[in-house]
Amino acid sequence: MINGAETPFDTDRAAAPGAIDFALRRNATDATVVAERASKAQRMATATGDEVRFLIAVMRKIMPAMEMAERSLLQADPMKQMLENVAATAHLLALNTELQADRAGEGAPVLAALGEEMRALARQAARAGQAVPELVEAVSQDIALGTALITAANEALQGVTEQFQALISQLEVTAQSAGRHATVLRDMS
């Protein structure tokens, strides 16, 4: 008021308390919504982090299984040696059968056929003995690749877990801040 006359400023000031109360209530509601959304995001991030940690735990269990498979493959070398021994023995038996066939006379065709079968068995055993190391090497390379991929995935998931932990911490701070903001605004209105 100026010299007893009302001014536009006085009219705005009279309307201001209602507008201020409305704005404060609106800000309090908005802050509450922000706090609820931050809490929901925090719960979602926590759940995702839990799933990532579970996946890491599973991958850590896979690693020893891959290593055990690799150790099992190393046991194939004695099998190779055994097949080579069978081949050598079959070859010797085939030679012995041929010698006996030469001495036998009439029974020679039967012994000669038996000798040829023994020789065929020796060749098969020798081929199997040669194939074992190739198979072991191929499987060993596959296991090594699988192990390397699992290790890389494990490291990546650990990085994701660390990022989620940081996100969760940030969301906690945001939710707490928004909650305090909402409380202050409610108290003011």
Give the per-residue pLDDT at 5: 57
Residue 8 in domain: no
Chain center to CA of 16: 60
Residue 141 in domain: yes
Q: How far apart are the first and last CA of the chain?
A: 27
- Residue pair 90/117 in contact (Cβ under 8 Å)? The answer is no
Q: Which two tokens stand for residue 148?
A: 């390397």
Structural domain including 166 reads: 16-188
Give the per-residue pLDDT at 9: 45
Provide, for the chain, the percentages of residues in helix, strand and coil under a 3-state DSSP scheme, each rounded to the nearest 5.
95, 0, 5
Residue 2 in domain: no
SS3 letters across 77-124: HHHHHHHHHHHHHHHHHHHHHHHHHHHHHHHHHHHHHHHHHHHHHHHH
Residue 5 in domain: no
Give the per-residue pLDDT at 1: 46
Residue 6 in domain: no
Q: What is the CATH number of the domain that holds 61?
A: 1.10.287.950
> How buried is 97 (Cβ within 10 angstroms: 0-12 exposed, 13-18 middle, 19+ buried)?
buried
Report the number of distinct structural domains present in the chain.
1
Give the per-residue pLDDT at 69: 77
Residue 112 in domain: yes
Q: What whole-number distance in Å separates Cα of residue 63 and Cα of residue 2?
A: 86
Give the per-residue pLDDT at 141: 82
Give the per-residue pLDDT at 3: 55
Residue 11 in domain: no
Determine phi and psi for 5, rounding to 5 degrees: -100, 140
Could you give the 3-state DSSP secondary structure of residue 5? strand
Residue 164 in domain: yes
pLDDT in single tens digits along all 189 residues of the chain: 455 555 554 555 555 667 777 777 777 787 788 878 887 887 888 888 788 888 778 877 777 877 777 777 777 777 777 877 888 888 788 778 777 777 777 667 777 777 788 888 888 888 887 777 787 788 888 888 888 888 888 888 888 888 878 887 887 888 788 777 777 777 776
Tell me the per-residue pLDDT of 118-173, one tens digit each, with 9 for 90 and over: 888 888 888 887 777 787 788 888 888 888 888 888 888 888 888 878 887 887 88
